[in-house]
Amino acid sequence: MSARMRDAAMAMSTPTRGLPAADRVVDARGIACPGPLLEAKRGILLVPVGGVMELVSSNEETNVDVPAWAGKVGHTYLGTIRESGFLRIFVRRNK
């Protein structure tokens, strides 16, 4: 498991702006591209099928890369919340 995955305080996120609570939060803030996508690929494996991963990233390209990756591999991109200085990207694991 990556050192950037923070389980203690962020094991489950709270529902926000119509998006579901995450089963796992992967914090990839401060990591250059393609690091956040690689963290997402590792993190989704720790989410149960049907569960939701929240990827937190300060890299704008992540908002393009993760939805494209999710669709390509059969997961569902649920949406992005823009916070001050970072993005919260939600993906449902389908398989």
Catalytic residue IDs: 33
Are 91 and 73 a contacting pair, CB within 8 Å?
no
C-alpha distances (whole Å) from 89 to each of 56, 70 are: 6, 11
d(CA 37, CA 43): 10
Burial of 74 (0-12, 13-18, 19+ CB in 10 A): exposed
